[in-house]
Amino acid sequence: MTTRWMDSPVGGLRLHAHSGLVTRIEFDASPVGRPAADPLLDEVERQLGEYFAGRRREFDLPLAADGTEFQRKVWSYLRTVRYGETVSYGQIAADLGYEPGIARAVGAANGANPLPIVVPCHRVVGSDGALTGYAGGVERKRILLDLERPGLF
């Protein structure tokens, strides 16, 4: 496994890769040690940099997220939510064929997403459009959504 730290508009990010796949992106990271030499992490850092600069709307990276079957379904769905758009937890549940009551489980799966930003869990909002919890903190969520739709929130 290789890791690298990068600075971003939402704070320090720690990027993780293993066997040619991006496995985790963590918030609140601080720089530690020397940057790992890894062409994949170079690409992750490049694509994230383009995203934060407003020049990238989709990511093209090999991903491996370890989770339950339900979590992986939610995370796969998140990748279909387009740049600048938002969706509610209940809408995800409905689109995946579940009853509305499963929205909380969708929220839990969203919060367990190991690849934030790249798998855009920040694009999920409450049924009334309000910003709700985000594993990286609501302020980060606001920054990411403002980046995609300036002045919206």
Q: Are 51 and 119 contacting, i.e. CB atoms less than 8 angstroms apart?
A: no
- Helical residues (DSSP H) of 36-135, grouped into ranges: 39-52, 69-78, 89-95, 103-111
Give the pair of three-digit tokens for residue 6.
Answer: 């990068």
Query: Which of 68, 69, 51, 52 has its CA nearest to residue 60?
Result: 51
Residues annotated as catalytic (active site), given as ranges? 121
Beta-carbon-side half-sphere exposure of residue 45 (alpha carbons within 13 Å) = 19
Amino acid at 73: K
Please give, one letter per residue, the 3-state secondary structure of 129-145. CCCCCCCCCHHHHHHHH
Dist CA 95 CA 90 (whole Å): 9
